[in-house]
Structure 1
Amino acid sequence: MSQLKITFLGTSGSMPTPQRGSSSVVMRRGRKLIMFDCGEGTQRQMTRAHIGFQRPMKILISHMHGDHVLGLPGMLQSMSLLGREKPLHIYGPVGLVDYVKAFSESLGGPGFPVILYEIQEQGIIYDSDFYHILAIKAIHRSTAWSYVFIEKPRPGRFYPDKARALGVPEGKLWGRLQRGESVTYNDDTVHSDQVTGPIRPGRKIVYSGDTAPNPELVKVSRNADLLIHEATFMEELDDRAAEDGHTTAAQAAKLAREADVDKLVLTHISSRYPDPEMVRNEAQEYFDNVIIAEDLMEIDVSLK
């Protein structure tokens, strides 16, 4: 199973600050990239994080506010200059196609395929043999989506002694058993579950984007390895958070507790909170395993 590394490229709310760039998080699974939002300055942060522009890549845009999409024109221009040929897949709300078309016409279209998907309804937006991605309707001032990355379950741990005892010789047949297949040898059929342990779950990563507290997000976040949730406000401004379609640190922590996630990372931190410990302390009143995202912070998500 591929390594899963999360890099926080931009962690500020609404606008960049001297310490924080505009919203963007990138996930590396093997050599492939999945990016959540692409705020202003994202491409520079990618170079600082030593993440190449030529890799297979999907970009998931939560909504069409500037602090989440203004990095797209520059990134596509740089990819063209660097000779990218691989297709780039971009998912987002209605309005994405018009936006990309407008800046491509004024700046010159990219020299590689850009495939755009405007999400119309909640559900699976991408599915492969290894993982799928869900879009969940967020609660915000404009149409917005939260995203859930879910790896497919893995076969259980393989026990060579059991395979030998059942007469299966070491080699390609063992590989098939480890992948969950049944094999036939000397007219005997051996099933994977005879030589492996219980099926093991894949990893689950949840990205809230901008949203007010959302019961639907609690449901899909159940037992997630990592919940990346916005925390634009603290509790003293909970009325403002509700009005603007945002979440307080305390509310995000309560959501994490209810969903029983392993780890909560708070991002989209407002410049009104220069000391991030204030935000973390509020959240930890309700959920222990809280991290405040910082630009270029990395988290490895291990297999269970």
Structure 2
Amino acid sequence: MQITFLGTSSGVPTRIRNVSGVALRLPQRAEFWLFDCGEGTQHQILRSDLKISQLTRIFITHMHGDHIFGLMGLLASCGLAGNAQRIDIYGPPDLEDYLKACRRYSQTHFSYPVKVHTVRPGVIFEDEEFTVSCALLKHRVPAFGYRVAEKDRPGHFDAERAAAIGIPPGPIYGRLKRGEVIVLPDGRQIHGAELCGPTQVGRKLAYCTDTIYCDAAVELARDVDVLIHEATFAHQDAELAYQRLHSTSTMAAQVALAAQVRQLIMTHFSPRYAPGNELEVKDLLAEARSIFPNTELASDFWTYEISRRELIELSGVGISCQ
């Protein structure tokens, strides 16, 4: 799982930061998912190593323009390129009406299936590999945070050891890898778990923007590997944050600390902290690290790899480790 930041500014783009957009690349599936789609996102995708043809799902947090103004253009381009497959879009109420209006007044017709899912708190998507859930955050309009949880996988199956103890190759290996207990023709009972390495713990990601500090963000981010959280304002501008229902750097760090996440990545920075100003984004990093040391700043086109962990069974107790 790879995170690529396509836009890390709040409100308006700057010379070095576009407005909101984050891609989650799933190499094992040859696809990527997009979180928010501010104006210019398709240009950012073209400048990255992502392939638009591999876009399958889009998750929109809320209906403010810096999070949706690039959506219709991206969808239209996917159709004109002729290589789009089905795209599922998840978002708040009014998203479907917005897209219908855009299509009607621009006379745009998609040449591929587009399905809009209106989300509610809870699980919004699940397949054999992933579960995606959302929670209602605290902003001026309905805004949702998203959590992507990869399901645990069995450890590596030791085929050589299985052959050495006389288990013939075939479909039985698949059953053993799934941890099943099988009985061989000679009466021996084999526990699949004994032939597999440590369980590979599913990776977890939370994406929270736009919001002020709230308990819902903490619960959504509980124990994730990576929390992407907005940090629109510096701590000294907390009054602005409360007025506009955005987070400060210290609020983002407090969410990460309370949720016991492994890595905090801050994004959605106000242009007022551009290089050369009295306060810069690097100052927001220092503020956050004073509360949650494992914090990084996102920048456009930065890619972060979420690594796997293994679950080691020790005296019946599962312990996860890097």
Which amino acid letter does the alignment assign opposite residue 126 of structure 1? F
Alignment of 1:198-217 (within 5 A): 198-217=198-217
CA drift at 1:41: 0.3
Structure 2: distance between partners of 1:118 and 1:64: 12
| Residues 134, 220 of structure 2: 8 Å contact kept | no
Q: Does structure 2 conserve the Cα–Cα contact (< 8 Å) formed by 1:84 and 1:111? A: no
**CA-CA distance at 1:190 after TM superposition:** 2.3
How far did residue 162 of structure 1 move? Answer: 5.6
Deviation digits for residues 78-131 of structure 1, max 9, x if unmatched?
Answer: 111101341110000000011000111122122211100111x21000000001
Contact persistence 2:59–2:91 (CA under 8 A): yes
What's the CA shift for 1:55? 1.6
Shift of 1:292: 0.8
Q: What is the CA distance between 1:161 and its match in structure 2?
A: 6.6
In structure 1, how many angstroms separate the alpha carbons of the residues matched to 2:308 and 2:13? 34
Distance 2:220 2:157 in 1: 30
> Which residue of structure 2 aligns with residue 22 of structure 1?
19
**What residue in structure 1 maps to residue 281 of structure 2?**
276
Corresponding residue for residue 191 of structure 1: 191
Q: CA deviation at 1:44?
A: 0.3
| Paired residue secondary structure (2:239) | helix
Structure 2 unaligned spans of 5+: 275-279, 310-322
C-alpha separation in 2, matches of 1:9 and 1:181:
43
**Distance apart, 1:166 and its partner CA:** 5.0
Q: Deviations over 1:152-185 (max 9, x none)?
A: 1111344457635653235543343223344443
1:1-304 equivalent positions in 2, closer than 5 A? 4-30=1-27, 31-107=30-106, 108-119=108-119, 121-160=120-159, 163-164=162-163, 167-170=166-169, 172-186=171-185, 187-274=187-274, 275-304=280-309
Deviation at 1:21? 0.3
Aligned residue number for residue 318 of structure 2: none
Residue identity (%): 37
Distance (whole Å) between structure 2 residues aligned to residue 276 and residue 237 of structure 1:
13
Letter in 2 for 1:300: E
After TM superposition, the score normalised by the length of structure 1 is: 0.93
The root-mean-square deviation of aligned C-alpha atoms, in Å, is 1.8
Aligned partner letter, 1:294? S
Contact 1:183/1:190, CA 8 A, preserved across alignment: yes
Worse-superposed segment, 163-172 or 93-102: 163-172
TM-score in terms of structure 2 length: 0.88
Secondary structure at the counterpart of residue 81 of structure 1? helix
The CA deviation at 1:302 is: 1.1
